[in-house]
Amino acid sequence: MHINTLPFGITNWSEVEKTQHTGDRGLAYWQTKQFGDIRVRMVEYSAGYLADHWCNKGHILFCLEGELDTELKDGRKFTLKPGMSYQVADNAEAHRSSTKIGAKLFVVD
């Protein structure tokens, strides 16, 4: 990733609109900022959330609160707790998110 033509700036996440996204189960709330080709999000998943799709998008994801379960299409499973992160490239390994207790994440993609 190259970060070009991005001047210094501050984001006050309490002022960024939340959008609601429905999963197979539960809800996700996204706060999204776009900086050229880079999308930055604060994402909150409700308890019991299960994504409605396998994702092929690359991300760098950092768990702030709760626990996030990530399943890869090949069957491997990983759990992120606060202070943990994962990274995956575009079209590298399809993945799907879920959480039993809810989670809050910081995502760059």
Per-residue pLDDT of 26-45, as tens digits, reads 999 999 999 988 999 999 99
Distances (CA, A) of 46 to 30, 33, 39, 84: 12, 21, 22, 19
| Rounded Cα gap, residues 79 and 39, in angstroms | 23
Count of the separate structural domains present in the chain: 1
Strands, DSSP E only, in 1-109? 18-22, 27-35, 38-45, 59-66, 68-72, 77-80, 85-88, 95-98, 103-108
- Identify the bridge partners of residue 25 per DSSP, sorted by sequence position: 50
Residue 103 belongs to domain with CATH number = 2.60.120.10
Residue 51 lies in a domain: yes
Q: Is the pLDDT assigned to residue 66 strictly greater than 80?
A: yes
Residue 55 lies in a domain: yes
pTM of the model: 0.92
